[in-house]
């Protein structure tokens, strides 16, 4: 009893402290809340006696529920509600003002303005808006601060009065008014009192609302304006009838209650007790439907299956899909955990939801625990990470934390992503089991701070890094990492299929250096490899590591239904074979596949295309039901903070659409995307499946669309889509014994540890190449970098070789793009790409923002840009000159043609650039480029035709060049590369061979081994080129085969077909002497 009196006394004290206006407003506000929740009264003239008993009971129950809800809300102390409101206002005053303004604008006048014949708004709602506007204009900021709380409470009450009044007005209008044929509202006899007063208040309220200056319209206002514009196209009578049917009378129809009044389609009102049918969403454009709420809500109900059906039945785009393929849902194939795996690790994975591993995971873990090297080649999202995580944790548990492991990833982003997942596993394992001191895993890259680097060297059980940091930061400083190398048990390499070409050849040398240093400290680590599907996975792994691992390739993971489609843009000119631009078609397809309820990723093959398409989609975001900030671009060259922000947005779902190059192709965790659109074939089957694997994770249905460009390779796949689903044919180019890369890696290895010659003259510990002793002798005698004493080579130079050796084959430096006004970095680009991307006058783009390069400091690798608002972007053109240096291999068909492989010297010069307008792609200008030429010595494939054969086939220069372009673009079908990885030089009369010659060379210094693959597979390559020409529907040539008619001439396609048929028919060439086509006596050989 005493407690109750104390509580009552405190309540009275609080009420006494409350301002008078609040004490008076509270009972009235409670009554108004109850009145607002009370169902609308029936029209005047139809009282309770006319309403069925069921409806009266329903109203009574609704009033009782509203009363109970009001009492529960009233129990919350006012000071608690005021404190919460003040805290929210202080946290975001601008947001609070926007929300209050939006709610106030939703009062009676705005509700009445939606339709001419809907409810009459209550005048007090308009007066409240007017009073607030006058207060905002006339009262100073101090007064506003004092009156803000009272003003907000009064406006809440005014809005509730306006809503209640508007509901009563709509009910009165339904029973007392009719719609005249002109679309207006005519008064009927027998109307209730007060209608004239409400009509005058409505007119005055509309005039005042129109006189008030409107703020800047937001997205919701634009959507509402579009709905009003659609409503304006409907006759006034139909508009009024639809408003009445969907408004006051619609409530009766929804409940199934007989309505006293029904509205006919011709605009008259008839009295009847029949139920009013609901509006027809197909025939009535103003009928309430699921699409109400703007584009965002209307596009939020499409699942993947619905989206596929919509695309297949689309009147405009449905006919452009040349192929559809569905991979059905696949159940998981599971197995038991290997018995050798520690039970604590098994419990860890079970606690994280992995009750039993997939079959391929169990097999890979068992092989790794048995001490064997393992290669896992299963598709993306099949759980390859578990295959090497479990063995590493097992080695840590068995050694009580003494074992060490090194994980290599091709990119920094991937290593940081995997580090977070591994740290969670290690922390969970250490926290649930008493395993002594906590274990650590760290990412070691260029962004790692010096303090963490010291901790990593001393106490890091797992080191996650990339080949570049291993090459320059760890191996040359191996004495500092002695503890790591002494206890190194496992080397994990992820995404092995990316280690190809010059980069892969150099990484093979780095791995040989790594194993050599580990053996120096007494360790013999095993390799755990993971990769996408390859043509010869064991051969690739053997060339990379020098070992033969156990192969695990049968996938046991589940998969949802996967839909694949090939979209071929329409022909704009059937005679010329010209098709619509792929980027424009991607923009058009985005209007169907993008939405707020699923995430879509667009893959393009060029950085410029990323920026162009991102700009297109940001400008069309409202039409897609998205906000502009939900559309992002992603590519190499963005600053690290920006890339991390975009990746986090993809994981959280804040980013709905992303446009990317191959930067998001690898296994970075970017959440569960739903739709992937590939704008052009990525160049290899492995890349295609990596990109397709970005969607449909976690057994969800997915859609992948390949948009075919006007390119021979894309058009070949448009007519032969089965190639994508067959076993891989591409041969991976990897040559660890390449003289250039081998010599560079031997210099780095000699700096780290001396080389010793065995009794038989061989050098052990650096692969099986017989050229190692000769290269070491050359470095000692000619380059003066080594000194040989007592059968041992020592490094004697002052240079630090690793910093001067690039793994990618180019100079190890990038060009930094800076803001000319603030000197703030806005991006970076590799040196080779800078010649065509950041020259003077170039347009540099970052997520749709355009910057014009004002000055390019080539010597210091700096480009200075200024942000501009332009309607065009730039594309550069280059000129190439090629000279033969040495021929190494030859095959010929007698008195017909021959193929060669050898070394060439290539000079590339950026000459001019053109300005291309957005959307229309018209050329609006051009300019010259003044930059130094790029010179490289590389490997090349050469096709040489006999002169009499060329004359018989009526070969000319334009046809020969078009044939070369076709072969270069089709080459990725048979070797893992991009078309731009191969350079082309078509010479109608070569200075070296004095015959028509076609050169396909590696566009990397020293070569990437691609020319060797082309030499071996040139017959299949020529056959695929012939298939493309035969299947192309053009008459004389087009970009999809040999090139446009203006470039190859009216007889270019027919001439190229004759040459290809001649080369493909008959037997293949046989091995011949490289001096078969020596230069004539009066034409000296190039040096």
Where are the chain's structural domains?
Answer: 19-185+196-267, 343-552, 562-710, 814-870, 879-912+931-1071
User: Any idea what DSSP says for residue 503?
Assistant: H
At 722 the pLDDT is 84
892-918 burial: b if 16+ Cβ within 10 Å, else e: bbeeebbbbbbbbbbebebeebebbeb
pLDDT of residue 403: 92
Pure H helices in 669-753 = 685-692, 712-719, 722-725, 739-752
User: What is the per-residue DSSP string for 612-675?
Assistant: HHHHHHHHTTGGGT--GGGEEEE-BTB-HHHHHHHHHHHHHT---EEEESGGGTSS-----B-E
220-265 pLDDT, tens digit each: 555 655 555 555 444 433 333 333 333 333 333 333 333 333 333 3
Task: Report phi then psi at 716, rounded to 5.
Answer: -60, -45
For the residues 894-910, what does the mean pLDDT come to?
A: 90
pLDDT for position 375: 95
The mean pLDDT value of the chain amounts to 76
What mean pLDDT do residues 183-197 have? 42
Which range has the worst mean pLDDT, 264-268, 626-630, 723-727, 968-972?
A: 264-268
Can you give the pLDDT at residue 1013?
84
pTM: 0.62
Q: Using an 8 Å Cβ cutoff, are 372 and 364 in contact?
A: no
Residues 863, 861: Cα–Cα separation, whole Å: 7
User: What stretch of H or E contains 463?
Assistant: strand 462-465
| Phi/psi at 1058 (5° precision) | -65, -45
- Give the architecture-level CATH label for domain 343-552: 3-Layer(aba) Sandwich (3.40)
Q: Is 314 exposed, middle or buried (0-12, 13-18, 19+ CB in 10 A)?
A: middle
Could you tell me if 832 and 808 are in contact, meaning their C-beta atoms sit under 8 angstroms apart? no
Across 772-776, average pLDDT: 91
- For position 602, what pLDDT does the model report? 96
The pLDDT of residue 510 = 94
Q: What is the pLDDT of residue 784?
A: 86
Q: What whole-number distance in Å separates Cα of residue 589 and Cα of residue 317?
A: 8
Instruction: Answer yes or no: is pLDDT of 42 > 60.
Output: no
pLDDT of 13 above 80: no
Per-residue confidence (pLDDT) for residue 140, from 0 to 100:
43
d(CA 60, CA 38): 9
Per-residue confidence at 531, pLDDT binned at 50, 70, 90? confident
- Helix axes 412-432 and 343-351, enclosed angle (nearest 10): 110
In the prediction, which pLDDT does 1010 show?
81
* 6 against 1081, higher pLDDT: 6
What SS3 class is residue 997? strand
Mean pLDDT value of segment 277-284: 34
Report which DSSP code applies to 480: G
Q: What is the pLDDT of residue 284?
A: 34
Q: Are 259 and 250 in contact (CB under 8 A)?
A: no
Number of other CB atoms surrounding residue 273 within 10 Å: 11
For residue 330, what pLDDT is reported? 87
Closest to 349 measured CA to CA, from 312, 393, 318, 396: 393
For the chain, give percent helix, strand, coil, nearest 5: 45, 20, 35
Residues in contact with 1043: Cβ distance below 8 Å, sequence separation at least 6, in sequence order:
961, 962, 965, 966, 1037, 1052
pLDDT of residue 78: 67
Cα-trace Rg, the chain: 37
586 secondary structure, DSSP code: H
pLDDT tens track for 132-168: 555 554 444 444 444 454 555 555 555 555 555 554 4
Top pLDDT among 252 and 637 is at: 637
Please check the confidence at residue 490 and state whether its pLDDT lies above 80: yes
How many angstroms separate the CA atoms of 799 and 776, rounded? 17
238 C-beta neighbours (distance < 10 Å), count: 18
3-state secondary structure of 218: coil
Tens digit of pLDDT for each residue in 1048-1062? 888 888 999 999 999
Cβ neighbours of residue 591 under 8 Å, at least 6 residues apart?
A: 620, 623, 624
Percent of residues, the chain, with pLDDT higher than 70: 69
- How far is the C-alpha of 919 from the C-alpha of 896, rounded, in Å? 48
Domain spanning 562-710: which superfamily?
Answer: P-loop containing nucleotide triphosphate hydrolases (3.40.50.300)
In the block, residue with structure tokens 């028919």 = 1065
The pLDDT value given to residue 810:
61
Query: What dihedral angle (degrees, nearest 10) is formed by the CA atoms of 112, 131, 15, 73?
Result: 20
For the CA atoms of 560, 563, 564, 567, what is the dihedral angle to 10 degrees?
Answer: -150
Q: pLDDT of 358-416, one tens digit each?
A: 999 999 999 999 999 999 998 877 888 899 999 999 999 998 888 999 999 887 767 77
pLDDT at 549: 94
């Amino acid at each position: 009893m005493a407690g109750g009196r104390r509580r009552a006394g405190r309540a009275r004290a609080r009420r006494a402290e409350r301002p008078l206006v609040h004490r008076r407003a509270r009972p009235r506000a409670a009554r108004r809340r109850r009145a607002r929740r009370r169902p609308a009264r029936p029209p005047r003239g139809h009282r309770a006696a006319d309403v069925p008993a069921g409806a009266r009971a329903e109203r009574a129950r609704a009033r009782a529920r509203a009363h109970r809800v009001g009492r529960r809300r009233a129990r919350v102390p006012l000071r608690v509600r005021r404190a919460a409101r003040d805290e929210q206002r202080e946290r975001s005053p601008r947001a609070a003002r926007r929300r209050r303004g939006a709610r106030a604008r939703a009062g009676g006048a705005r509700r009445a303005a939606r339709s001419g014949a809907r409810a009459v708004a209550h005048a007090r709602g308009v007066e409240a808006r007017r009073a607030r506007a006058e207060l905002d204009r006339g009262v100073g900021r101090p007064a506003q601060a004092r009156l803000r709380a009272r003003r907000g409470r009064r406006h809440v009450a005014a809005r509730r009065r306006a809503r209640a009044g508007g509901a009563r007005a709509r009910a009165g209008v339904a029973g007392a008014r009719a719609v005249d044929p002109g679309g207006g509202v005519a008064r009927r006899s027998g109307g209730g009192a007060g209608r004239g007063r409400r009509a005058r208040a409505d007119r005055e309220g509309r005039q005042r609302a129109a006189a008030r200056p409107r703020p800047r319209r937001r997205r919701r206002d634009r959507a509402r304006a579009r709905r009003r514009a659609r409503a304006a196209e409907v006759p006034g009578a139909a508009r009024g009838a639809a408003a009445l049917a969907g408004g006051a009378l619609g409530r009766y129809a929804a409940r199934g209650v007989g309505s006293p009044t029904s509205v006919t389609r011709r605009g008259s009102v008839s009295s009847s007790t029949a139920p009013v049918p609901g509006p027809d969403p197909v025939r009535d454009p103003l009928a309430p439907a699921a699409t109400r709420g703007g584009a965002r809500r209307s596009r939020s109900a499409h699942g993947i299956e619905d989206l596929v059906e919509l695309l297949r039945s689309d009147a405009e785009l449905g006919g452009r899909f040349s192929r559809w393929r569905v991979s059905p849902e696949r159940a998981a194939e599971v197995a038991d955990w290997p018995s050798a795996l520690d039970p604590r690790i098994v419990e860890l994975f079970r606690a994280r939801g992995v009750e039993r591993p997939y079959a391929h995971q169990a097999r890979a873990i068992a092989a790794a625990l048995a001490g064997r090297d393992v290669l896992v080649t299963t598709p993306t999202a099949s759980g390859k990470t578990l295959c090497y995580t479990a063995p590493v944790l097992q080695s840590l548990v068995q050694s009580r934390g003494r074992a060490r492991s090194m994980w290599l990833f091709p990119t920094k982003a991937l290593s940081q992503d995997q580090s977070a997942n591994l740290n969670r596993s290690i922390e969970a394992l250490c926290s649930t089991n008493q395993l002594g001191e906590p274990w650590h895993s760290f990412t070691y890259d260029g962004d790692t701070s010096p303090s963490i680097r010291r901790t990593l060297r001393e106490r890091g059980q797992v080191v996650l890094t990339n080949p570049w940091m291993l090459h320059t930061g760890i191996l040359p400083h191996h004495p500092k990492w002695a503890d790591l190398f002494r206890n190194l048990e496992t080397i994990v390499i992820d995404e092995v299929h990316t280690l190809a070409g010059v980069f892969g050849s150099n990484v093979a040398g780095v791995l040989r250096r790594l194993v050599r240093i580990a053996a120096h400290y007494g360790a013999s680590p095993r390799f755990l490899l993971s990769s996408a599907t390859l043509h010869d996975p064991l051969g690739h792994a053997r060339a990379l590591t020098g070992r033969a691992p156990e192969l695990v390739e049968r996938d046991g993971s589940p998969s949802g239904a996967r839909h694949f489609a090939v979209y071929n843009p329409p022909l704009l000119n059937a005679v010329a074979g010209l098709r619509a631009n792929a980027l424009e078609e991607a923009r058009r397809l985005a209007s169907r596949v993008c939405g707020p309820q699923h995430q879509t990723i667009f893959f393009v093959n060029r950085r410029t295309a990323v920026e162009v398409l991102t700009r297109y989609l940001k400008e069309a975001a409202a039409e897609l039901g998205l906000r502009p900030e939900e559309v992002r671009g992603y590519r190499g060259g963005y600053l690290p903070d920006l890339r991390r922000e975009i990746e986090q947005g993809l994981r959280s779902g804040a980013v709905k659409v992303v446009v990317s190059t191959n930067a998001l192709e690898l296994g970075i965790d970017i959440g569960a995307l739903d739709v992937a659109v590939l704008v052009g074939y990525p160049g290899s089957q492995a890349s295609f499946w990596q990109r397709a694997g970005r969607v449909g994770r976690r057994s969800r249905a997915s859609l992948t669309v390949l948009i075919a460009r006007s390119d021979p390779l894309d058009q070949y796949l448009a007519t032969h889509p089965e190639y994508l689903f067959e076993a891989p044919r591409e041969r991976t180019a990897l040559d660890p014994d390449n003289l250039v890369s081998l010599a560079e890696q031997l210099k780095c290895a000699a700096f780290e540890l001396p080389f010793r010659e065995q009794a038989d003259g061989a050098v052990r510990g650096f692969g099986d190449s017989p050229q190692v002793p000769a290269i070491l002798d050359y470095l000692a005698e000619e380059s003066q970098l080594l000194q040989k004493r007592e059968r041992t080579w020592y490094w004697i130079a002052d240079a630090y070789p690793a910093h001067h050796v690039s793994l990618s084959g180019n100079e190890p430096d990038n060009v930094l793009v800076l803001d000319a006004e603030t000197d703030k970095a806005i991006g970076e680009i590799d040196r080779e790409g800078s010649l065509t991307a950041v020259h003077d006058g170039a347009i540099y783009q970052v997520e749709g923002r355009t910057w014009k390069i004002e000055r390019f400091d080539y010597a210091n690798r700096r480009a200075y840009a200024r942000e501009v608002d332009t309607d065009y972007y730039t594309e550069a053109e280059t000129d190439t000159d090629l000279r033969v240096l040495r021929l190494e291999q030859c095959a010929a068909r007698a008195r017909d043609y021959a193929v060669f492989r050898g070394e060439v010297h290539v000079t590339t010069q950026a000459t001019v650039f053109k300005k291309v307008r957005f959307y229309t792609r018209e050329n609006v200008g051009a300019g010259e480029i003044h930059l130094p030429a790029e010179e490289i010595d590389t490997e090349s494939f050469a096709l040489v035709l006999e002169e009499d054969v060329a004359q018989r086939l009526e070969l000319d220069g334009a046809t020969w060049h078009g044939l070369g372009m076709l072969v270069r673009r089709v080459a990725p079908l048979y070797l893992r590369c991009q078309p731009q990885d191969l350079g082309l030089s078509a010479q109608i009369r070569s200075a070296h061979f004095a015959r028509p010659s076609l050169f396909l060379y590696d566009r990397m210094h020293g070569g990437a081994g691609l020319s060797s693959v082309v030499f071996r597979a040139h017959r299949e390559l020529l056959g695929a080129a012939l298939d493309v020409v035969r299947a192309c529907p053009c008459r004389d040539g087009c970009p999809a085969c040999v090139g446009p008619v203006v470039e190859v001439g009216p007889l270019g396609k027919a001439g190229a077909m004759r040459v290809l048929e001649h080369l493909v028919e008959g037997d293949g060439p046989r091995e011949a002497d490289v001096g078969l086509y020596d230069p004539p006596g009066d034409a000296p050989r190039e040096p």
